[in-house]
């Protein structure tokens, strides 16, 4: 649909008429060098030329009026409005921080063949696709923390980048504090309601790298109204056959549950323990209930600005008229 954003600018069409009516006419006085009494009385009088009263039918007048019409039309901002489109309103700002350290290679969360990272990719990927209406961001952390994607409504891209994640891409150690700090930094300049900022941090270890201690980072997160849910992953203690017989091993011995619990408590979140794929799926299901999606849509119409066309034609025509007068002069 065609539309003018500033239709009141068409009042400027009357500006030349007002100038013509309000300003006095320009005059020139011709002084003769020889007095000739036989010349008519009218010619003895000072000659008055009304420059402002140009012949209405002249090419010059019509050209000037058309140029003025084009320039005023450009000032009125002609637009083409596209079809109405529904966009999701901003729901929660949900950031996923996923541990990609070397220990995520351990295969202890199911059939013994699928490692921790693959299980997280499957379950977290489904969680991302369910969060319609939320803006989701992804942080990967190992020895350092990296923002893989900013907060976005493009959930398919976030899920795809999570699926493409390689263990050890951010280092082989675990910088939990830096991951929280990265989330705080990303949210710092955003305007959001107190209940709308959530970080889901998943790890299988303890903080042994980075520049920020996890508890200190959690205190800063609480000040920024960032609620943190922590998930500790790793299998249960089990008996395995060794060289000297059966022995008990704990594949999640490196998991610092005390710190993860403290992070959740300091920020108003909750700590969860995932021993296998089923419990991890149940945890993300609980997160859906604890942080339900804030659904809602707003209607927008894409707008194309068209002022460049009348403006361009008006300037070209003004140049051609000026060139014609210059040649005639």
**Is 47 a residue whose pLDDT tops 70?**
no
Whole-angstrom Cα distance, residue 195 to residue 265?
Answer: 16
Q: What superfamily does domain 88-298 belong to in CATH?
A: von Willebrand factor, type A domain (3.40.50.410)
Answer with the residue of higher pLDDT: 54 or 75.
75
pLDDT at 195: 63
Strand, helix or coil for residue 17: helix
Most confident of 32-46, 157-171, 283-297: 157-171
Most confident of 28-32, 235-239, 265-269: 265-269
Whole-angstrom Cα distance, residue 172 to residue 174?
Answer: 7
pLDDT at 193: 57
Which of 203, 148, 196, 138 has its CA nearest to residue 175? 203
**Is 198 a residue whose pLDDT tops 80?**
yes
Convert 9-19 to b/e letters by CB count within 10 Å (16 or more is b).
beeeeeeeeee
pTM of the model: 0.62
Whole-angstrom Cα distance, residue 282 to residue 273?
Answer: 10
Name the least confident of 91-95, 167-171, 222-226.
91-95
8 Å CB contact between 145 and 178 = yes
Name the average pLDDT for the chain. 83
Answer with the residue of higher pLDDT: 291 or 220.
220
**For range 219-239, the mean pLDDT:** 86
173 CB neighbour count, 10 Å cutoff: 19
Instruction: Give the single-character DSSP code of 61.
Output: H
pLDDT at 183: 95
8 Å CB contact between 91 and 293 = yes
Instruction: Give the single-character DSSP code of 220.
Output: H
Whole-angstrom Cα distance, residue 318 to residue 324?
Answer: 10
**For range 246-254, the mean pLDDT:** 62
Quickly tell me which residue has 């996890």 as its tokens.
214
Please report the sign of the dihedral spanned by the C-alpha atoms of residue 196, residue 202, residue 207, residue 211.
negative
Give percent of the chain above pLDDT 90: 49
**Is 84 a residue whose pLDDT tops 80?**
no
**For range 61-74, the mean pLDDT:** 88
Whole-angstrom Cα distance, residue 235 to residue 240?
Answer: 13
pLDDT at 240: 54
Whole-angstrom Cα distance, residue 268 to residue 197?
Answer: 12
**For range 204-213, the mean pLDDT:** 93
pLDDT at 39: 44
Which of 203, 196, 160 has its CA nearest to residue 294? 196
pLDDT at 15: 87
Annotate 154-188 with DSSP letters as a single string: -HHHHHHHHHT--TTTT-SS--HHHHHHHHHHHHT
**For range 215-222, the mean pLDDT:** 96
pLDDT at 29: 52
At 188, is the pLDDT very low, low, confident or very high (cuts 50, 70, 90)?
Answer: confident
8 Å CB contact between 149 and 161 = yes
pLDDT digits (tens, 9 = 90+) for 115-147: 999 999 999 999 999 998 888 999 999 999 999
The contacts of residue 80 (CB under 8 Å, 6+ apart) are 1, 2, 3, 303, 304, 306
Q: Token digits for 189?
A: 């300049």
Domain ranges of the chain: 2-83+301-328, 88-298
Q: Where is 204: in which H helix or E strand?
A: none
For residue 308, report the phi and psi dihedrals to the nearest 5 degrees. -60, -30
At 90, is the pLDDT very low, low, confident or very high (cuts 50, 70, 90)?
Answer: low
The contacts of residue 98 (CB under 8 Å, 6+ apart) are 120, 124, 138, 139, 140, 141, 162, 165, 202
**Is 250 a residue whose pLDDT tops 50?**
yes
pLDDT at 216: 96
**Is 299 a residue whose pLDDT tops 80?**
no
């Amino acid at each position: 649909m065609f539309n003018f954003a500033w239709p009141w600018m068409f009042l400027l069409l009357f500006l030349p008429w007002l100038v013509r009516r309000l300003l006095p006419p320009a005059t020139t006085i011709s002084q003769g060098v020889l007095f000739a009494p036989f010349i008519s009385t009218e010619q003895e009088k000072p000659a008055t030329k009304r420059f402002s009263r140009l012949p209405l039918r002249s090419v010059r007048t019509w050209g000037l009026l058309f140029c003025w019409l084009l320039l005023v039309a450009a000032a009125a901002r002609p637009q083409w409005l596209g079809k109405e489109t529904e966009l999701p309103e901003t729901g929660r700002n949900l950031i996923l921080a996923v541990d990609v350290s070397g220990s995520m290679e351990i295969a202890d969360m199911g059939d013994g063949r699928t490692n921790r990272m693959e299980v997280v990719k499957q379950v977290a990927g489904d969680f991302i696709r369910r969060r319609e209406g939320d803006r989701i961001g992804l942080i990967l952390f190992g020895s350092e923390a990296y923002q893989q994607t900013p907060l976005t409504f493009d959930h398919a891209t976030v899920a795809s980048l999570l699926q493409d994640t390689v263990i050890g891409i951010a280092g082989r150690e675990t910088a939990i504090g830096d991951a929280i700090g990265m989330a705080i930094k990303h949210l710092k300049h955003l305007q959001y309601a107190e209940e709308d900022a959530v970080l889901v941090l998943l790890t299988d270890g303890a903080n042994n790298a980075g520049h920020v201690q996890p508890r200190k980072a959690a205190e800063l997160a609480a000040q920024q109204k960032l609620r943190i849910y922590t998930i500790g992953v790793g299998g249960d203690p089990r008996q395995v056959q060794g060289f000297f017989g059966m022995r008990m091993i704990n594949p999640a011995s490196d998991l610092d549950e005390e710190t993860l619990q403290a992070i959740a408590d300091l920020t108003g979140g909750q700590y969860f323990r995932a021993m296998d794929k089923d419990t991890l799926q149940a945890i993300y299901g609980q997160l859906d209930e604890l942080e339900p999606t804030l659904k809602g849509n707003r209607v927008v119409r894409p707008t194309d600005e068209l002022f460049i066309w009348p403006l361009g034609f008006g300037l070209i025509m003004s140049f051609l008229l000026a060139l014609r007068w210059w040649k005639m002069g």
